[in-house]
Structure 1
Amino acid sequence: MIKFDVRFFALLFFVFLSAGLCAQKVNVSIKVTNKKNEPVPFASFTVIKRNDTLVFQQKNSDSTGIARFMLEKDVQYIIRITSVNYLPLEKGVTATPNHNFFSFIAQDLPKTLQGVTVTSTRPLMRQEDDKTIVDPEPIAAASTNAYEILEKTPGIFDQDGNVYLSSMTPAAIYINGREMKMSRDDVVTMLKNLPPNAISKIEILRTPSAKFDASGTAGGIVNIILKKGVKPGMTGSATAGLQQGHYGNQFFSFNLNNNDGKKSSFVNLNYSRRNSFEEIITNRFFAPDSELSQKAFTKYPGTAYFGGFGLNNSLPKNWDIDYGGSISYNNFNNNTENESAIKKISSDDTITNNLNRVNNNGYALNIRNGFEFTKKLDTIGSEWDNDVFHNFTENNSTQAFSTLYYSPFFIKTGGDGTSDNKRNFFTVKSDLKLKLKRRITVETGVKSSLLGFKSVTNYFNESGGVRTKDIGRTNTFKYNENINSFYAQGSKTIGKNIIVKIGARLENTNMEGRQIIPSDTSFTIHRTDIFPYIYFSKKVMSIAGYELRSYLVYRRTITRPAYDQLNPFPRYIDQYLSEVGNPTLRPQFTTNYEANISVDERPLVAIGYNDTKDIFTNVIYQADSSRSVAYRTYDNLGKNKELYLRGLGVLPPGKKYFFVLGAQYNHNFYEGLYESKPLSFKKGSWTFFTYHQLKLDKRSQITLNGFIRIKGQQQFYELSNFGALNTSINRQFMKQKQLIITLSMNDIFYTNQNDFSIQQGSVKANGNRKSDTQRFGINIRYNFGIRKKEETNDMFNVEPPERN
């Protein structure tokens, strides 16, 4: 299989190389700087053919202030540049093979700007090197929190509380480039506490470089960048909204930003009250003639409070200091009613039936603080970045459960318990990037992280009025983790069209877990691994002035078990099912190969292959000889080979309407052992997604987005077809368009529900899952302060320039 992959990528390389020979235009680089000769990142460039103003190109500059275009030789072009904090700039150029680099200086905006409005377009999605950058503003208008923004972003799929990009391995969630090191449930809670208008951009890294952690990034990284008061002057907004489904959500958020040119600060406040439900119907066959049928209905009411704050200051000698912190508090009072019955299949006789009630009442507290010190070493992008970050999470809950048996005897049993989990995560890292001569970039850095986790649970059973300690579920578990890493990578631009980046990351892992109650057991892991990374990019050709560029990526990653997957404490679900960690889990290693093509910095098509060794995944095992009691856990099963294809198509947009249509195919092949018996499981699934936007007039627009997954998969569960279609319409009011009202409808046809089935080892089950996804919403936002820049949000940044 490896030989096949090498031949495959070699073939792609020579196809791209031969195709690139057909290109005849001049590759032009345009750089914009300020008076201090500092690059102006993310400026909007419009390049117009002087003798035919209907022919134009639009792009944004990268982080070094450079935008690249394919222009016709010896033809005159008009260059228009706009950026926040700077006056509009217009220049004329003529490109030749010997004169293909232009540099312009943008003038600062005056301190008073009465009557001045700068208008530019900003793409929803664009490609910069090895990451896709998403502007969340169009989606945020119809969302109540950050998690909903991820749900609606084209190409990002959420399922079972995880976020997926290219593969069936969950992606890691970063905030401001920092790993959170949180459990799946904690990440979901954190994202639901973030107000939607607090997000500046979302970076999608499907194949992260050696600069990023090798651990936990096999499925890629979703990096959420929060706003930090980048607009000059004092600006802000107040937003209120509600959503109504079977139950309702309400929220209010307020943000204030201040920027005087040297110092900037921000404050984000958010209050939300949420309520939803989930209904799961399950039929499990645990004996040749016995079936366990269950219908569980869970209600999830909760209240969340969030506060975020930050300060950025420019210091002498090109130093910048950035502080960002946040605190969130979420309380919940979840209630589950589960009707269960065991029947004989042949006679349909009921052996036993009962009603199980579970209440989980508690809170989750999260406090984050980070300091970043950055020194700019030159004006072309070299910098030294240092970061210190601390994340504290506390989860405290009380559980009460009872079971009322109706037959064969009328009996009532029950119990209660408390759970207290505390986690401290501390990281310190230093990154150095040097821009050298001959278009060489060198990056290197070190990082050290410390994680301390402690879980204390106390459970009691009650029967016939007698309360006794539940030894099986009373548990005290401690886990400590230290990961030290070093990376180095270098990139070089060869000729005009080829970019090569090669790097490696060394990670030293030290893990120690100890269970004190009910018995004293422990485990330790000490290992050092190296993870190579190779990136190759080449321009293939130009089509109608748009650059077609190919990419080849090779990387190796590791997925270490998280503390909740290692904790042996059994968590009570009902009298027939519990969840338990596995302290003997081993890490899994994944080798990834990907080839992709982008058009004018927009992703177009990709093919990739993941080869995973010693894979661990969620499994269900029978807990007793009768097989009526089961438990969910994690186990190393063997290996998995995954092939994925991804495509994105765009209708060339006009001034008012455009749409995007994407598709992704995943095929997984598992081989190994399940319950000590040979395992062979193959599954392929398709996912289609789309995004539409129609401008009704200068103040109104309507959007439509959705997805459908065909023959879906969740670990070893096979899922029926499911999907969702969402729409929103917004209207701007008042003279300066400060007031924006948005109406939205999520899951219009209530199709985001699925049937599931599993048949592995001794476990055979099927069922249905649905939740409170069909919702109508209204959001009202008021913007205040001096607005220096008004931005329109077109997905692919191709709106024609203004005509004189």
Structure 2
Amino acid sequence: MKNKLPLSFILALFFSNIFGQETTLIIKDSKEDFGLPGVTLVLMCDSTSKKFISDQNGRIIFSNLKSGDYRLKTSYVGYIPIDTSLRLLAGNSVELLLTEETIALKGVNISAQKKFVEIKNGNFILNVQQNTLAKTSNAWDALKYGPLVETRMDGTLKVENKTATVFIDGRQVFMSGEELMNYLANIPAANIEKVEISSHPGAKFDSNIGSVILITTVNMRYQGVKGTLNLSNGYGVFPRYNAGLTLNGKKGKFVSQLGYNYSQSKTMGVTNITTSVNTKNLPWVVSQNNINESNSHRIYGSVGVDFNKNNLLTVYAEYAPGATNNLVMGNNGGLTSTRQLQQDSVWQSLNHIKRNSNTFASQAIYESKWDSTRQSLKFTLAYSRNQGDNRIDNNLSYFNSAGLLIKKMPFYRAFLPNQTDFATISGQYVRGLWGGEWISGVRYYNTKLSNENSGYTYFDMDRTAGETLTNMVSFRYNEFNYGAFTSWEAQVKSWYFQFGLRVEQNEVFSQTASGAKDRLYRKLSLFPTLFLQKKINAKNVIAFNYSKQISRPDYSLLNPFARFTDNTVANFVGNSQIRPARTHNLNFSWTYKSKLIFSAGLVILNDLISSILQKNGDGSLSQQYDNFNGVYYYVGAYYAMQPTKFWQVSFNGRLSTIDIQPYRNLPLGKANLNIYGNISNDLLLPKNFKIGIGLDFSNLSSDQFYHHRGYSNLSASLSKELKKPKLNIFLRGNDILKTSFTGNTALFLPYSSQSYNDKRITTLGVIYRFGKQTVKAKEIFKDDNLEESNKRL
């Protein structure tokens, strides 16, 4: 059965002189209302056909065309083709309007749309604007609708169980975990054209990159200006606001982008902790409430110069200041006579965390092509700095033997200024070889981290009198990486091959206040990659993927300064001795009709980086990250179908379990099967109304150290699209049933937690698109695909 491609078209008929008749067809872009030159049109009648090409103004003139029924087919890169029958009248003029989404013919409406998910050589392309839930959310929330993508509320982002690295318009985002989640959550999905996902990026990417997510926010094909304005107002316990404006322009050899995003939020979280890890080993039920306020800005811009179609220079810069203010109030219950007899410590706490951050990122790319574009060179220079200033106030009150609430003195305050610098330079050479493509290159990067941590005590709660330095930790971290790679990929009949090898010399140094400089890590390593794909027939494709990967710790985990983060009963203590994790990834997949994807594999974990709770000598608790060994097993599936013309549904899921080796003589529990998944429904209603309904969930699971609490999240979105003006108005609800809980129970300590972090939100938003473009025939080029995006990287 032949699938209909998305199209609609408008045909206006005008009366003209019936003598010396010429029939004129004018082909235009329906959104920008300009003529499209170079459109291929095939006109068929009975058993004969004739091909035509539109001129500079999008016109095709038929001489002496007889009235009758004709079959009309169009082909134009970047636009949806038409294949339909219609009646043409000799001597009339016909106006045909094409867009990427729809084509309309006056009196006839044909409804269809681009596929939300497309597949190319085992990689997935998400057309974000074709999914109601995705396009009315933000960049982070939109990712979870991608095949075999896993996102969690703690900032986990994986593709086929490999941690994903995000690129935006060819620029790597040097963030991970919760920091990356918050950054992407400030980017409206309205600014995203497509997302490209690869679980086998190959040797041309660094060894610490196991999978990539390539976000494309702009695609200026033609001369002109276009922009997107988005405004949204959300309501949870407190209101929150988001606004953004992006302008894109192209004139002559120059392409530019300028944008601004603003986000303001205030959220409330509730946590309940049960533990008996304390000086007297008495059972505590700790209640913790936190109010978190944040303001973030993102100012960004880029300029590209296309010197002669084969030499392109692009420069990008971004500045993102932000501030958070987190107030955490906790207590371990009320004072009772029983607790007094037990001499239990009954307390109340007030912790205040204030952070200001400034992030600057820049990148310059120069690419040169020659030999009919079969050879190219690309040079990339990038630098980013993340500067933060953290202040933590700890206030504790306790009940004395007389039952009076007494403030603990002196009052404590910690300062944690930090700065992280990333610098990289790389070169890449591409050429055709043996019917495929050979890519080779070199890359150097350096990462520097500096922390100047200090703790003070004061006589008063306002921290103005009697300042006394009590502890200080100065920490430096410096990493150097030298890499070279080569890879070859080709399509040979029904086989697709991708072979690669990367060589890296990695050195890591740390330095404390004493001045001693320790080399933590120095190693020369080989990182082979392999991807094989076989197209069995028109419906079935199988693939195998192997890669070796190194994962470096998040730099905030290295700082050994003990500090309060988000847990009233357990301070966080960094571990400067964490080693980079080394993994071997093996995966097998089967795809049926590009609708059903089945994936299975295992990950061999050497020095896996994960967190652990530990009991200190004084009976208190602390959190710390360390290295572990084990094997991770998983199976995953993605299925998309269209039960009716107006309803699309997709399912994305994964089953996994882990086998951890013994660690520090801790008693290990038994791992069970973790079930993670999401379901997305998209419904097209009359008058351009759309409804999206989604559910993501995870069950109660064990990784041998913890039982992790299960959760679910039901969300829905209603949107209305207007053509003039080009507005999308939407109403979105998240966590409708209020079931997005997190928490865990330790299997080696008497400790458990449960949290809810104000995920129940109702959002009203508006997306306005504007601008105008003009087309010249020489500007027509192929639409980007995943392979071309990877070459740009």
Query: Under a length normalisation based on structure 1, what TM-score does the superposition of the two structures give?
Result: 0.78
Superposition deviation, residue 363 in structure 1: 1.3
**After the TM superposition, which of the residue ranges 392-401 and 779-788 deviates more from structure 2?**
779-788
Q: Distance in 2 between matches of 1:83 and 1:277?
A: 49
In structure 2, the residue matched to 1:81 is 75
**CA distances 1:700-749 after superposition (whole Å, capped 9, x unpaired):** 2111122111224579332233111111111123x535121111111111
- Equivalence for 2:654: 664
2:604 corresponds to 1:611: yes
Task: Report the residue type matching 1:549 in the other structure.
Answer: V
Aligned to 1:477: 475
- Please name the residue that 2:741 is paired with: 753
Q: Which amino acid aligns with 2:332?
A: S
> For residues 622-645 of structure 1, what are the alpha-carbon distances to aligned partners after superposition, in whole Å with 9 as ceiling and x for unaligned?
1124x2x111111223x2111111
**Counterpart residue type for residue 250 of structure 2:** N
Query: CA-atom RMSD, angstroms?
Result: 3.5
Structure 1 residue 576, shift from structure 2 partner: 3.6
CA distance in 2, matches of 1:715, 1:382: 52
The 5 A counterparts of 1:29-428 are 80-84=74-78, 116-120=97-101, 121-137=113-129, 138=131, 143=136, 145-151=138-144, 153=146, 155-166=148-159, 170-182=163-175, 184-215=177-208, 217-218=209-210, 220-227=211-218, 229-230=220-221, 232-260=223-251, 262-286=253-277, 290-316=282-308, 318-341=310-333, 351-379=344-372, 382-408=375-401, 410-413=405-408, 414-428=411-425
2:443 paired residue number: 447
In 2: Cα distance, 1:369 partner to 1:289 partner: 52
Determine the C-alpha separation between the residues in 2 that align with 1:49 and 1:290: 86
Query: What is the distance in 2 between the residues matched to 1:340 and 1:169?
Result: 39
1:688 to 674, 677, 683: 677
- Change in 2 beyond 3 A, CA 1:730/1:343: same
State which of 733, 737, 742 in structure 1 corresponds to 2:730.
742
525, 530, 538: which is aligned to 1:529? Answer: 525
Count, aligned residues: 685
Structure 2 Cα separation of the partners of residues 540 and 677 of structure 1? 49
Match of 2:759 in 1: 773
8 Å CA contact 1:292–1:342 kept in 2: the answer is no
Alignment match, 2:549: 557
Distance apart, 1:294 and its partner CA: 1.5
CA distance in 1, matches of 2:702, 2:670: 11
Q: CA deviation at 1:411?
A: 2.9
User: Secondary structure of 2:140's match?
Assistant: helix
Gapped runs of 5+ residues in structure 2? Answer: 1-37, 47-70, 86-93, 102-112, 776-793
Over 3 Å counting, the alpha-carbon distance change for 1:652 and 1:116 in structure 2 is closer
Which residue number corresponds to residue 782 of structure 1?
768
Q: Which moved more, 1:461-470 or 1:766-775?
A: 461-470
Alpha-carbon distance, 1:443 to partner: 1.2
CA deviation after TM superposition for structure 1 residue 754, in Å: 3.8
Cα pair distance change 1:380/1:689, threshold 3 Å: farther
What's 1:57 paired with? none
CA contact (8 A) 2:149 2:160 kept: no
SS of residue matched to 2:624: strand
Partners of 1:584 and 1:319 in 2: how far apart? 45
Report the equivalent of 1:20.
none
Shift of 1:282: 0.8
Task: State the SS of the aligned residue for 2:276.
Answer: strand
Q: Could you tell me whether the CA contact under 8 Å between 1:744 and 1:777 is conserved in 2?
A: yes
State the alpha-carbon separation in 2 of the partners of residues 749 and 48 from structure 1: 55
- Return the letter of the residue paired with 2:503: L
Question: Is contact 2:162-2:199 (8 Å) kept?
Answer: no
Query: Corresponding residue for 2:714?
Result: 725
Q: Which residue of 1 aligns with 2:89?
A: none
Are residues 406 and 150 of structure 1, via their aligned partners in 2, closer, same or farther at CA, if it must alter by over 3 Å? farther
In structure 2, what is the Cα distance between the partners aligned to 1:49 and 1:716?
Answer: 69
Report the equivalent of 1:631: 622
Residue identity (%): 17
In 2, Cα distance between equivalents of 1:323 and 1:268: 15
Secondary structure of 1:148's partner? helix
SS at match of 2:242: strand
| Letter of the structure 2 residue corresponding to residue 458 of structure 1 | S
Determine the structure 2 residue equivalent to 1:457.
Answer: 453
Give yes or no for contact 2:277–2:621 (8 Å, CA) kept in 1.
no
Change (3 A) 1:420 1:567: same
Distance 1:655 1:529, change over 3 A: same
* Closer/same/farther in 2, CA of residues 630 and 769 from structure 1, 3 Å limit: same
* Residue of structure 1 in register with 2:789 after alignment: none
Corresponding residue of 2:781: none
Pair 257,178 (structure 1): closer, same or farther in 2 beyond 3 Å: closer
1:588 positional shift: 2.1
Which is higher, the Rg of structure 1 or of structure 2?
Answer: 2
Residue by residue, what CA displacement relative to the aligned partner does 1:91-140 show, whole Å, maximum 9, x if unpaired?
99xxxxxxxxxxxxxxxxxxxx9984434443222222242222222357
Structure 1 Cα separation of the partners of residues 40 and 453 of structure 2 = 59
Deviations 1:16-38 (A, max 9, x none): xxxxxxxxxxxxxxxxxxxxxxx
Structure 1 pair 640–346 and aligned structure 2 pair: CA distance change class (3 A) = farther
Give 1:647's aligned amino acid.
Answer: A
